């Protein structure tokens, strides 16, 4: 197959500079045990039987904790806790100093030789005299990898910390707390953090995982979900106020994906992470209704939608308005003061809020959405509200959601679709047909799914085809994010995902590299390009996709070519019309067997225009040509 590519610079159009972002949901252990760098599981003794689905789960306040040695009693109490949101704590009765309370982390604690770890805890002597607590990192078989001593035990709650330097790497250590007292001791918020978090932030993110997300160069990050945002019942709606402030005052919650959210990774941390990687924050709040997809998450509503009682809606709306004040208000405002107290006196510059997550467009939803939307628009007209046009199931469409959004003139709406690769191949004109006068689009969740099979080069290339169509439609599609982003091995509730990981390794998928290539090679001007193909069969033509963008900051022009055919394609580029005099071209190729799951792109720098006049697109490949704008 041979193609000729003719760009048409006379028809250049402005496109969104926020097109490629990231969707973060606390699904698949993405937060606790994942991106959040805390190494202790159930540090606050707040795990609850309701957190874990299945009657055999046996989760309770002691989850992940055990004792070792003689003369130690371990119970849970809730009398006079550190904070009412953090009701439970451990009570250790020590009759023989030397016995220990042990935590195995999330599938073990991974430690690196030479690295420093900060251990902290709240302690209170209930009976007996003062003493010290020895804290050790061990393999459970007698080898100690590092230790520290914590002093100053008093009869009221007191926080203490120490730094442990680890002498050897180990992937599955455990933390041992050894109170050197004879008496009864209360402990809570037992925490262990690597000192080296992403950007060195206190209460920060796991550095390697955060870096992998940063390398997507996302222009925005959506959080905290997905379904986590609206929960599987009114009582499970995510409330941002529960997730800020001192860690011991945050309110943990059952995660509807079948585990526990400590809220250690909360709104402050999300906003700070966005700032750290130059991404716009995009919080999504429930539209006053929880998830109605009973089939999907097995909640008892049976597909009916319920909502926050109308009598409580004013409070709920105020909570959303307060979020804007918390993010953007001066440090002297009621909520801005809390942001400043957390360490960020400057506003976070929040510009977007998502209201609703693929909700059924029922009367219950409409009534509540309208109330929230009008209130935000009135108080904060500068904020762009992103509505939802509902779920996209087989046989359904977005018509009801679009009708409602158009009526209300919602500036942007969120569309989701998880579909087979063929859908992306045969619906490249999906947005070409969208009415430019209506709401803009945020493709908030999408992925190519091969039922029962992991993602691979075929799904990645189908997504690349789709992303070229999004660039072409970057005047109406303003944002997009693949979903879900993260999945911890052994704790995955949803497949496929973009980045798999365990405690020591990060395993980006081939699809990740497609996202990365688009993120790192985005533009803000679209240059229409015409492909003349030697084969007119639509099954051939639809498997070759092109987009050309220009980045006005650098004047670089980027040509992206996808070949989803099992054969080579010879591509001749009409480069004369590019009118760029440069000898700096970078060529990046992602290619391989269609079923390959963890491919990485190859990069060749220092090419000239001459070198790319005629190129071969390998079977099943994605090629990015970045032509430097420097003369
Ligand atoms: O991305 C996984 C889930 O898919 C999201 O939580 C939800 O919005 C969608 O149904």
Pocket-testing residue among 225, 236, 492, 498, ligand 1, by greatest number of atoms within 8 A of Cβ: 225
Ligand 1, closest atom to CA 296? 10
Fold of 49-194: Jelly Rolls (2.60.120)
Ligand 1, closest atom to CA 229? 6
ipTM of this complex? 0.99
CA atoms lying within 13 Å on the CB side of residue 174? 19
User: Would you kindly state where each structural domain of the chain is located, as residue ranges?
Assistant: 2-13+524-627, 22-37+197-520, 49-194
Residues with CB under 6 A from ligand 1: 25, 27, 225-227, 357-358, 416, 445, 483-484, 494
Tokens of residue 323, six digits: 């979020």
The CA 226 to ligand 1 mean position distance, Å, reads: 5
pLDDT tens digits, residue range 205-220? 999 999 999 999 999 9
Fold of 2-13+524-627: Immunoglobulin-like (2.60.40)
Tokens of residue 393, six digits: 């199931």
- Flag residues of the chain having pLDDT under 50: 294-300
Q: Which pLDDT score is estimated for 310?
A: 96
Pocket-testing residue among 30, 416, 419, ligand 1, by greatest number of atoms within 8 A of Cβ: 416
Ligand 1, closest atom to CA 483? 1
Closest residue by Cα to atom 3, ligand 1, is: 226
Cis peptide before 71 (omega within 30 of 0): no
Cis peptide before 496 (omega within 30 of 0): yes
CB neighbours of 473 closer than 8 A, spacing ≥ 6? Answer: 431, 432, 434
Q: Which of 325, 358, 458, 471 is catalytic?
A: 358
Are 356 and 442 in contact, with CB atoms under 8 Å apart?
no
The CA 25 to ligand 1 mean position distance, Å, reads: 8
Ligand 1, closest atom to CA 293? 10
Q: What are phi and psi of 224, to 5 degrees?
A: -95, 10
Query: What does the DSSP assignment read for 535-589?
Result: ---HHHHTTEEEEEEEETTTTEEEEEEEE-SSS-EEEEE-GGGG----S-EEEEE
Q: Which pLDDT score is estimated for 209?
A: 98
Q: Which pLDDT score is estimated for 297?
A: 44
Ligand 1, closest atom to CA 494? 2
Distance CA 288, CA 283 (A): 15
pLDDT tens digits, residue range 523-561? 999 999 989 999 999 999 999 999 999 999 999 999 999
Q: Which pLDDT score is estimated for 296?
A: 47
The CA 415 to ligand 1 mean position distance, Å, reads: 11
Closest residue by Cα to atom 9, ligand 1, is: 226
Cβ burial of 309 (10 Å; 0-12, 13-18, 19+) is exposed
The CA 445 to ligand 1 mean position distance, Å, reads: 7
Pocket-testing residue among 22, 27, 29, 261, ligand 1, by greatest number of atoms within 8 A of Cβ: 27
Ligand 1, closest atom to CA 225? 6
The CA 425 to ligand 1 mean position distance, Å, reads: 22
Distance CA 321, CA 372 (A): 9
The three-class DSSP label of residue 441 is: strand
Ligand 1, closest atom to CA 391? 10
The CA 84 to ligand 1 mean position distance, Å, reads: 32
Is residue 358 annotated as part of the catalytic site, yes or no?
yes
The CA 141 to ligand 1 mean position distance, Å, reads: 42
CB neighbours of 200 closer than 8 A, spacing ≥ 6? Answer: none
Closest residue by Cα to atom 5, ligand 1, is: 226
The three-class DSSP label of residue 422 is: helix
Q: Which pLDDT score is estimated for 55?
A: 58
The CA 27 to ligand 1 mean position distance, Å, reads: 9
Closest residue by Cα to atom 4, ligand 1, is: 226
Pocket-testing residue among 389, 444, 447, 494, ligand 1, by greatest number of atoms within 8 A of Cβ: 494
CA dihedral 386, 479, 469, 525 (to 10 degrees): 120
The CA 529 to ligand 1 mean position distance, Å, reads: 34
Pocket-testing residue among 228, 284, 289, 358, ligand 1, by greatest number of atoms within 8 A of Cβ: 358
According to CATH, what is the number of the domain 22-37+197-520? 3.20.20.80
Ligand 1, closest atom to CA 25? 6
Query: pTM of this prediction?
Result: 0.97
The CA 146 to ligand 1 mean position distance, Å, reads: 41
The CA 385 to ligand 1 mean position distance, Å, reads: 20
């Amino acid at each position: 197959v041979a193609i000729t590519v003719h760009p048409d610079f006379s028809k250049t159009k402005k496109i969104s500079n926020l097109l490629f972002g990231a969707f973060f949901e606390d699904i698949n252990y993405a937060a606790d045990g994942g991106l959040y760098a805390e190494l202790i599981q159930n540090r606050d003794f707040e795990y609850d039987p309701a957190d874990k689905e299945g009657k055999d789960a046996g989760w309770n306040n002691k989850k992940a904790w055990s004792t070792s040695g003689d003369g130690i009693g371990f119970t849970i109490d809730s009398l006079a806790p550190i904070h009412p949101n953090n009701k439970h704590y451990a009570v250790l009765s020590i009759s023989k100093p030397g016995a220990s309370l042990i935590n195995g982390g999330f599938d073990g604690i991974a430690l690196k030789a030479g690295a420093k770890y900060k251990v902290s805890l709240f302690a209170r002597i209930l009976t007996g005299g003062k003493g010290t607590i020895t804290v050790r990192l061990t393999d459970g078989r007698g080898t100690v990898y590092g230790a520290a001593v914590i002093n100053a035990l008093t009869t009221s709650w007191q926080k203490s910390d120490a730094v442990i330097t680890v002498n050897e790497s180990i992937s599955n250590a455990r933390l041992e707390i050894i109170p050197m007292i004879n008496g009864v001791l209360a402990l809570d918020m037992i925490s262990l953090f690597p000192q080296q978090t992403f950007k060195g932030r206190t209460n920060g993110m796991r550095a390697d995982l955060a870096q992998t997300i940063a390398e997507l160069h996302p222009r925005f990050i959506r959080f905290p979900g997905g379904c986590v945002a609206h929960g599987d019942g009114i009582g499970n709606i995510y409330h941002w106020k529960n997730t800020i402030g001192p860690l011991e005052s945050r309110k943990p919650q059952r995660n509807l994906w079948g585990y526990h959210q400590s809220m250690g990774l909360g709104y402050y941390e999300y906003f700070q992470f966005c700032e750290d990687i130059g991404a716009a924050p995009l919080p999504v709040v429930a539209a006053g209704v929880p998830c109605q997809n009973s089939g999907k998450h097995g909640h008892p509503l049976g597909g009916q939608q319920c909502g926050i009682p109308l009598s409580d809606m004013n409070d709920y709306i105020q909570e959303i308005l307060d979020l804007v004040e918390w993010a953007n208000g001066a440090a002297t405002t009621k909520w801005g003061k809390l942001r400043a107290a957390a360490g960020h006196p400057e506003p976070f510059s929040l510009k977007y809020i998502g209201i609703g997550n693929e909700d059924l467009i029922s009367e219950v939803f409409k009534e509540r959405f309208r109330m929230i939307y009008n209130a935000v628009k009135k108080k904060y007209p500068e904020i762009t509200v992103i509505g939802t046009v509902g779920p996209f199931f087989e046989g359904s469409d977005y018509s009801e959601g679009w009708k409602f959004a158009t009526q209300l003139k919602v500036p942007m709406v969120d569309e989701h679709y998880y579909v087979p690769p063929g859908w992306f191949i045969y619906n490249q004109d999906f947005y070409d047909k969208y009415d430019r006068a209506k709401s803009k689009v945020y493709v908030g969740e999408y992925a190519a799914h091969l039922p029962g099979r992991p993602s691979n080069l075929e799904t990645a290339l189908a997504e690349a085809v789709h992303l070229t169509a999004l660039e072409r439609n970057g005047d109406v599609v303003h944002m997009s994010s693949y979903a879900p982003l993260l999945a911890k091995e052994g704790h995955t509730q949803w497949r496929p995902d973009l980045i798999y990981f365990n405690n020591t390794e990060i395993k980006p998928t081939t699809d990740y590299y497609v996202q990365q290539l688009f993120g790192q090679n985005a533009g803000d001007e679209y240059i229409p390009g015409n492909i003349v193909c030697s084969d007119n069969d639509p099954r051939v033509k639809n498997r070759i996709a092109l987009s050309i963008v220009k980045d006005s900051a650098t004047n670089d022009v980027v040509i992206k070519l996808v070949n989803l055919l099992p054969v080579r394609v010879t591509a001749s580029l009409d480069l004369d019309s590019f009118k760029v005099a440069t000898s700096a071209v970078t060529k990046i190729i992602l290619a391989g067997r269609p079923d390959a799951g963890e491919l990485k792109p190859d990069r060749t720098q220092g090419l000239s225009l001459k070198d790319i006049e005629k190129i071969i697109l390998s079977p099943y490949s994605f090629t990015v040509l970045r032509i430097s704008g420097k003369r």
